[in-house]
Amino acid sequence: MDGTAILISEKMKNEMSVNAPRIELTHHAIMWISTKGILEEHEEKVIDIIKEKLADKNLVFYGYCFGRFDLIIEFIEDSAKVASHYVCSLQEKIEKELSAALGKENVVCSSLTLACRVNPRGKDNSNKPVRTYTFLMPKSEGLDLNEITDFTCELNKDSSTKVELYWNSSSYSFILIGEGNVFTDVFNKILTFRKRMRNDFAESCTYVGLRWGETDESEEDIRAYTFVKLKDGFGELNLDKDSSIWQEQFKRLGWSDICLEAKGKTLKEIKSAILELRKNHDDILNTSTLLLSQKQEPENE
Amino acid sequence: MNSEESLWEAVRTLWMKYCGISDEYRMLRDRWLYLYKEVSIPTLPYLKNKENLTFDLLDNHIKELDQLFKDKFNLKRGVMEDYTKSLPLLRKSSLRDHSEIEVRFFDLSTYVGLLKLAFFQRTASSEISHVASGAPKSPERTIGNELFYLAADKCAKRYHECLNIPYGRWDNFITFAPPIGQGYFYGAFYHPSPYLELFHISMSEEQKYFVGSYLALAHEFGHGVLTKKTTTPEGDVITDKVNWYKLLFEIVWDGMFDSLNEFVGRRCEDCIITKYTDSKLSYFRQYEQFIADLFGFRVGGPNILSALWDISFGVTNELELIRNVALLEYIYAHSKRREIRGLIDRINDLLDRLDVVRAENNKLCPTHTNLSECITKIGGLWANIAMNVDKDIFSIIPNRNLGNLDLEGYDISSSIFSNFIKEEFKIKKSEETRLVDSLLSGIPCTDADPRHILHCYYEAYKKSKGEDRPSYPATIQSLAFNKYNKEEK
């Protein structure tokens, strides 16, 4: 086999693209940043570092994360090893600058997912305030990727809320990345996808991002549980001076010490309340928020 | 301290370690089975069938060990140890009893370590589902790499299916371990267990970042063909090389001396190659590597050699080069000539590089001939003798008993090696083109033979210089989600 064989004929390319699912050759590097004991101004510093370091990259998303991670950065890179190098370098730079600013070390930790689009259609243009990452664990080897991506196309028709399927190397081998202006809309789309694909995927879990500096729109209330870990490992919070989104406070027996029940109109409102909470209470080590969808109504028979 | 007390101290120490490891295994086993997901892809393979899979054999092994401790030293799992109650048996026991238990315990400990490593590697992704609690824990480059491990399992399973391995079962999982034990990048290793009748194959951890290196798995299964279980005169149960391999090596060794005779008197005594003749064991081990390569090639294809060279490129070692030349000679005899054009260029480059290293170290050939001449001569001899013995061992050593050669029950009328090869590697040109083009385009091919996928990944990799490279996600997806069914082909 000589070198000319790797030049694929146009005809063959067309045939292959019509019949076979394809994993895009470029990578979406999704960097998940966890922090402990840092405030909003320090998160802003982190974002500044990211924007500077990734200035020549296609930066798809950067913003807040709801959950055990605090920030998400997503950029596009051809090479997996170049992407992971950038992420490691970013982490090292962030750690160095935050240590200098805070006077204490090891307050930041990053994780990485390298994701590749499946059957990509169109460019990676993303500007919506809400971005979700639904990790999907496949049930078997027999997934029909064409069927799945055909369904995502159907879901995306005539809608400002989009979803797209990606591959990655973990047990949750696929990620459905969604985006939109309204969190509940995006989440409903994810639920529709899960319902239709229940025979293909064993389980899923969703991380929610809010684009930096953006405000999402509201259609219905968003409920959430914010888990608070205290520096002392025990205590309670006086919420008199805090946002009105906090409904109830519960003591917890597990990893976190307090659970706050929240209700807000938008993700932005909830996030702002969380940042204010951390600022007002010096005894908080970190927070982690689990967003909930609307209450499950029984299906009509 | 008297003799019984002395034995007691050692036995009691061993007992405490054994109790810990034994229960560590039991916890790990139950956790592994509990986390096995029937409804999803098996990143943790199911290792129990109530008969002869890895957990079944380990369960029996523990029962045997419990019984040995009880029979020899009156040590029981349910109660604290008691010297006075053990004393009658201590008086009858010996160092031999301690050693026998220790060797069996070594097998168990090794497996617990391997299972633990595999468990951690293959459950890193479980942290993903903890959306709102816990700290990041995965120590991998990305949160989870389970598909890399599953891909290795699938490749290994396929190579295993293609060989008839006389001793032991493959334990059904591949680990990726740090190369610390060996002191260099060993690629992969094969580890047979004498008591458990299992063998494990582990890859050196850095290999997971280059899919092509999974070709090394074929070579490791080749070692399995050469292994048997035996009992020494002292009563120790060990794994050893099969007798036909030992005989083959003796023939090669004699042949080498005959061949090197012409260099006597040419001041070759200082040469590193002839000095190796002081170390027959080095040659024995390296020849074994060649035979494992040979079986790896027969089931994995010619890119085994390319992968081997990429792994060991920096090892400018005469013995390694002899092995490489031998494999090339063997492949030359078995393959279409055009397929190895690139390999011939590469070996010449490696030989030239070795000459440069030798010159830098003032180890020039004393006769001022090209070192390649000797290496090529010996490598060719290795390959030719292997081929001749394979075809007709009795023409070389008539009147040998098949049983003494560990070949009883095999039909060696036309070939010894063929008895151990169930499916030769073959790939049609059209399939090769399809797979290469697909992997370059990012199209997974989950229906293809995993051996073909790896071969074609390497074909595409060799042709590319960086930008037009085969897609590792498509390759990993093709392997991890592989649906190839040899029965249907």
> For residue range B313-364, what is the model confidence (pLDDT) as tens digits?
776 678 888 999 999 999 988 876 666 777 888 888 888 887 787 778 777 6
Phi-psi region of B38 (alpha: psi -120 to 50; beta: other; left: phi over 0): alpha
Nearest-angstrom CA–CA distance, B132 and B128: 10
Q: How distant is the Cα of B192 from the closest Cα of chain A, in angstroms? A: 29
Residues 257-286 of A with CB under 8 A from B: none
Interface of A with B in 189-208 (CB under 8 A): 202-203, 205-207
Helix axes B450-463, B472-480, angle to 10 degrees: 170
Strand partners, B229: B239
Residues A159-170 have pLDDT tens digits of 889 999 999 999
Highest-pLDDT range among B20-29, B38-47, B271-280, B332-341: B20-29
Who among A135, A288, A290 is closest to B128 (CB)? A135
What is the C-alpha to C-alpha distance for residues B65 and B206, in angstroms, rounded to an integer?
Answer: 36
> Which chain B residues are closer than 8 Å to A202 by Cβ?
37, 39-40
Q: Do residues B421 and B266 touch, judged by C-beta distance below 8 A?
A: no
Given an 8 Å threshold on Cβ–Cβ distance, is A171 in contact with B146? yes
Q: What is the pTM of this model?
A: 0.91
Q: Give chain B's largest Cα–Cα span.
A: 78
- Catalogue the E-assigned strands of chain A: 27-35, 58-66, 71-77, 108-117, 130-138, 162-167, 174-180, 201-211, 222-230, 246-251, 258-264, 284-292
For residue B88, is pLDDT > 80? Answer: yes
A23 CB within 8 Å of a chain B CB: yes
Q: Cβ of B335 under 8 Å from any chain A Cβ?
A: no
Q: pLDDT grade, residue A7 (50/70/90)?
A: very low
Put simply, whether B443 touches A (Cβ < 8 Å) is: yes
**A82 shares contact with chain B (CB less than 8 Å):** no
The mean per-residue pLDDT over the stretch A18-40 comes to 88
The CA distance from B284 to B247, in Å, is 11
Residue A182's nearest CA partner among A225, A129, A132 is A129
The lowest-confidence range among A276-285, B62-71, B191-200, B273-282 is B273-282
Q: Report CB contact under 8 Å: B136, A109.
A: yes
pLDDT in tens, B406-456: 998 899 888 999 999 999 999 999 999 999 999 999 999 999 999 999 999
Please determine, for residue B262, whether its predicted confidence score (pLDDT) is greater than 80: no
- Pick the residue from chain B with its C-alpha nearest to A1: B339
**Average pLDDT for B192-202:** 93
Residue at token pair 């064989």 = A5
Residues of A in contact with B126 (CB under 8 A): 171
Question: How many percent of chain B have pLDDT more than 90?
Answer: 60
